[in-house]
Structure 1
Amino acid sequence: MKIESSAWNHQTQYSAQQRKLLGVHYTPDNLIDYIVSHTLFSYLDKNKFTPLDKIKILDPACGSGLFLLKAFDLLCSLWQKQFGQLKPQDIRHILENNLYGVDIENNAVHEAKKQLKNKANLLGVKEVNIPIFQGDALLHSFTDYQINLLFSNPKIFNWQENFPKVFAEGGFDCIIGNPPYIRIQNLQPKERRNHYIERYQTARGHFDIAGLFIELGHYLLKPQGQLSYIISNKLLTTQGAKALRTYIFKHYSLIEIIDLGDTKLFEAAILPTILILEKQIPASDYFLYTSIQQMRKPATNYLKVENLFELLNQQPHCEFIQWQQRYFQVKQFKTALPKINQSIWTFHTTREQKLIEKLKQNTFCTLADISHKISVGIKTTADNVFIKPMTFDFINNLHLESTVIFPLLESHNVCK
């Protein structure tokens, strides 16, 4: 069995309810490959004088270690290419000095260490101390008194105490991962939720704790360090993520956004987006934006690809592609950075932006001007129960009260 497969199988041991509570989701292999390689190569390209043996890579919610396993493989490959060989002491150095992880679940930490040790054993290294620890990465500012007072089984994680060498050198170079998606209302215990709200600037409104990992990343990264996460695309538009968007604008340089939309590229209850940030003042007024949307019908002209994410590294010129019997529209372009007072983040090609400006110039008002409120439509999670066609006979025969029956206007009811 492949070691990566064993780590992935460990994640499947969680029940659906456990995955929801922990925010655990399975990340596909090719997506991990893309994030790890893209982040490391980008960092090394911008920091050419950073020795390979000094690189510090962190996954602050590492789970069973899939991202760290990929990072290990890539570092071994780069090491062998740069130095011509990979000795046992080099492998030990990579595992003990280049890769770091934290996870709130002890079983996940044990699994991540085991998989990396198995890789080391296959390469002839028997004894190795891998710096992966259990703890809540987001809880790191309590005093001992407060910890004992608030938590009977504390999982506070002291970053500087556990990784002293990293902070002696200024912090981590790269932070990667797929942080948990847990809504504020699902956080338990409430002391944990309250601490997040007190501790983090971005913990405002109906926030998701994945966003807190972005704020944490700024504290952990060294200057010019890079952060690459898979997060919900709600970051771009929802009111609950407004504080996070403002934080990103003020503290990071936005390098790239890859909006995967409703492509269902992996099993998650969110619409995923890859966010790539750098800890520095923006050196450019532009960043790279990619949108990948699944098509219901294939286009007449399309490119068939083996790996969707390898295509992104090549900055695709073909807009329509086929991958695994599915068809996608891919748009990739450089666009202006969002403004700090911009209520939502939406991005358009130059052609689309010109069309929008033309429409604005030739209209007397917008829908927002004449409506009281525009929001997401009804979400019952059981439309066949709450929303279904009802005839008057159906209502009368079941003696349904008029006070609970309402007309529903849908898009197909709207006529010119």
Structure 2
Amino acid sequence: MRITNFLCLYGGSGDFCLQTSNLIENPDTYFGISWSTNTKNFVIIDNDNVKISNWFDKKIEEIPLSKIESNSDKFYKYLISKSYKSESDVVPFILDIFRKLRNVTYEKEKPTDALNLLFQLLISIEEDYTKIDYTKWGIENVELPSQFEYFVDLIKQGVKSISPNLDLILRHSSGSLFQEAHREVIYFNPQRDLFGGVSSKLIVKNDAYSSIHYTPQYLARTIVENSLKNLLPLKEYIKIFDPSCGSSEFLIEALKQLKNAGFDGKVKVIGWDTSESAVSTSKFLLEYEKRTQWSNSDLEFEIKLVNDSLTEKWESDYDLILMNPPFISWELLKSRESKDAVLETLGSSFKNGKPNQASAFFYKATKSLNTGGVLGCVLPSSIFTFDSYSSLRNEIKEELNLNIIARLGNFVFEDALTDVSFFVGKKEVHHTNPKLIWTKNEKGVVHNVLRDLRKMTTNNEHSIEEKSYSIYTPSDFPLIKDSWKTISLNENKLMKDVERFVSAGNLNPISEIFNINQGALLGVKNIFKISLEQFENLPKNEHKFFRPVITNNSIKKGELIISEYVWFPYDKNGLIIKNENELNNITFAKEVLIPNKVVLQNRKSITEWWSLTRPRNWQFGKQIRLYSNRFGNSNSFALDIKGNCVIEEGNAFLPKKEFEIDDYYFYLSCFTSKTFEILLSIYSKPIMSGYDLGKIQIKDIPIPNVHSTLVKNSEAYAKLVELGKELEQGNSFVKQVIDDVLNSYFYPRI
């Protein structure tokens, strides 16, 4: 009987091998396959039973198939519980040996020498390492260290009497293996242990703010899968390109999926990278793929080392472009040439701001596709949402049909804080609304949503809505003007309801009611501010030179808490200290300002050296004002009822038309509600501490307009005013009541 084996990938944490025939092999066979594919479990369907072979436990469990069919979710959770990572897994096992090799060689010549040793070490699993055909394997012949045979014996011994399978390692574990192997070593450990053994301890560079991020296998698989789906029907000849190929994770995944789909045509894959190690690895893996899975005439590959892919000539006939371009911000681009290449590539599609290098790759890729060609790529989420990329998005939307736009958050790349999205688009005339993927920015969510994306396609479902993620196709796109932001399915439904209220005139955008102004810029840290105690100890006649200052720590759930004062020598007409001699009569100036005169003088664009850099002239006069932190949520708004404060770190909401005092209390209630926080999640940019509360992000959020007679004369207005007064006094328990009132009178039920 023919055995049908599969590797089921579920984001790394719950991967397992599967056999769908009832022919049972020797248990060691299953242990060897699952270990070499970097999984723990091999699941065998045997007539009426399911057998779970776990190499780590060295045992096989048997469960009736009927129990699993009625409890599939429970069964999968059980598999995950037995899929924990360990240092005995194939990738850490081989890497441990490789680290020892690196400590032996110190990578004396160049980084690729160490990688070539790793290649030869892996080849020794299958061949005599002293007789390697270097041309056949596509590697360089480097001098082997004297202890190399010791390492060969180590790798052949394997773990728990399980020997490694080279074919399975290269086809299913190479991505994780070589990505780790590429890490830059910053400290070697040449020490030997008591028995002469080599240490595997070395310190590698881990940079959470790095711009180079390796593509996880599960993400590469998803992007390739959905890109190939949009490439159908497949032509007899396919040209695939990755301009930042790394270890060719994308290219090899595309070749695997084409083979699995039964493609029998010809393929040409092209990859470029700036890393010599990445190019060497790509050649090694593609040479193996070509020799073992493709005939020499059916697969052609070109891997090239480049200084900068953007300065290279891209052809315009690629059928499939797959890429994870470098996420390098403008500030971190090292050379003038790199910056010029980005600007030249983007041309008129980017006019203001400082573009990320990835945006230039994105734009150039859209221009390099065949008609009917598909682009699948990983991108910084900022390209989808920042105003500075609006022209770029509009131009790309004209070029491509947007198939998938997915925002995955900050938990995709290992040891990185990057906010990640992915995109799939096709160059065709017919345009449809894209499938949107939204995820809550939490660890583990991405694996779940990509699993459900695959199940959704198989089950022909139209949408999925879970607490932490959504997948759906909206009726209109973009959801928010000039943005490709993704939101949850429930938020999308709410947004449609809110838009009906706006159309009926019951709600208006914030920008029609308020001007949102940024707070003061002091100019020099720790000079102009003093504590409440210091203020109280000043001579009474000097109090007029200070005002209470609002910082990020001043606002707590609608209440204003003042603990600091700021030097603010202004009245409604401007600066009140006209000359430097007056400072000699002011205690604070003599003790603090004059000793720091040189530092204060070096600031740009100041009126006088003792003035603030940007005091904001709208703050000169004292009046009641509504304030918010710069970043935050519904707890980040407060009212200065005395009108005496100056805001530094945050925003002031200045009415465009005259307000009564009660109007301020009304809006304090509105902005501190859960309802408003949900609207923030739809309209504003999420950050680690909440949302951006600046005018660009929140200007379109619909709110009730107190200048409307219907609002002003409503029972809800009076209630919200009273609730706002409670909030201002520190009673945050009224927030639930505020939401009840808002949802009963002004918003659809949220």
Q: Do these two structures clear the TM 0.5 threshold for a shared fold by scoring above it? A: yes
Q: Please state if 1:187 is matched with 2:342.
A: no
Q: Is the 8 A contact 1:228 1:275 kept in 2?
A: yes
Q: Is the 8 A contact 1:258 1:291 kept in 2?
A: yes
CA distance in 1, matches of 2:446, 2:360: 35
Structure 1 residues 35-81: Cα deviation after superposition (integer angstroms, max 9, x where no partner) = 1111112212xx35x12xx1111111111211112122222323xx3
SS in 2 for 1:368: helix
Structure 1 residues 157-209: Cα deviation after superposition (integer angstroms, max 9, x where no partner) = 2345xxxxxx6xxx111111211111112212112212331342234422111
Distance 1:196 1:318, change over 3 A: closer
Code of the aligned partner of 2:413: F
Distance 1:370 1:138, change over 3 A: farther
Name the count of aligned residue pairs.
343
Equivalent in the alignment of 1:228: 376
Equivalent in the alignment of 1:32: 220
Q: Is the 8 A contact 1:10 1:64 kept in 2?
A: no
1:367-386 maps to which residues of 2 (within 5 A)?
Answer: 367-373=510-516
Query: How far has the Cα of 1:285 moved from its partner?
Result: 4.4
Code of the aligned partner of 1:238: F
Query: Residue 289 of structure 1 is aligned with which of 420, 433, 436?
Result: 436
In structure 1, list runs of 5 or more residues that go unmatched.
84-89, 141-156, 161-166, 299-303, 322-327, 379-384
Q: Please state if 1:10 is matched with 2:187.
A: no
Query: How far has the Cα of 1:277 moved from its partner?
Result: 1.3
- Percent identity, aligned pairs only, is 20
Structure 1 residues 259-317: Cα deviation after superposition (integer angstroms, max 9, x where no partner) = 2235x133343221111111223x13422212122569x9xxxxx99854131133365
Q: Is the 8 A contact 2:409 2:421 kept in 1?
A: yes
1:338-353 maps to which residues of 2 (within 5 A)?
Answer: 338=478, 342-346=481-485, 349=489, 351-353=493-495
Q: Is the 8 A contact 1:236 1:346 kept in 2?
A: yes
Equivalent in the alignment of 1:86: none
Equivalent in the alignment of 2:367: 219
CA distance in 1, matches of 2:281, 2:399: 34
CA distance in 1, matches of 2:500, 2:208: 50
Q: Please state if 1:130 is matched with 2:270.
A: no
Distance 1:68 1:60, change over 3 A: same
Structure 1 residues 67-115: Cα deviation after superposition (integer angstroms, max 9, x where no partner) = 112122222323xx355xxxxxx9xx6xxx4321111222221222122
> Over the residues paired in the alignment, what is the CA RMSD in angstroms?
3.9
In structure 2, list runs of 5 or more residues that go unmatched.
1-168, 185-203, 538-544, 556-628, 638-667, 670-750
Code of the aligned partner of 1:175: I
1:258-297 maps to which residues of 2 (within 5 A)?
Answer: 258-262=406-410, 264-267=411-414, 268-281=416-429, 283-294=430-441
Q: Please state if 1:358 is matched with 2:500.
A: yes
Equivalent in the alignment of 1:75: 258
1:381-392 maps to which residues of 2 (within 5 A)?
Answer: 392=532
Query: How far has the Cα of 1:230 moved from its partner?
Result: 1.1
1:10-409 maps to which residues of 2 (within 5 A)?
Answer: 10-13=181-184, 15-16=205-206, 20=210, 23-44=211-232, 47-48=233-234, 50-51=235-236, 54-78=237-261, 81=262, 97-120=267-290, 130-136=301-307, 138-140=309-311, 157-159=312-314, 171-201=317-347, 202-204=349-351, 205-262=353-410, 264-267=411-414, 268-281=416-429, 283-294=430-441, 308-315=449-456, 317-320=463-466, 328-338=468-478, 342-346=481-485, 349=489, 351-360=493-502, 361-363=504-506, 365-373=508-516, 392-393=532-533, 406-408=549-551, 409=555
CA distance in 1, matches of 2:534, 2:455: 58
TM-score, normalised with respect to structure 1 = 0.70
**Higher Cα Rg, which structure:** 2
- After the TM superposition, which of the residue ranges 366-375 and 63-72 deviates more from structure 2? 366-375
CA distance in 1, matches of 2:313, 2:403: 29
Equivalent in the alignment of 1:145: none
Query: How far has the Cα of 1:120 moved from its partner?
Result: 4.3
Code of the aligned partner of 1:102: W
Code of the aligned partner of 1:5: S
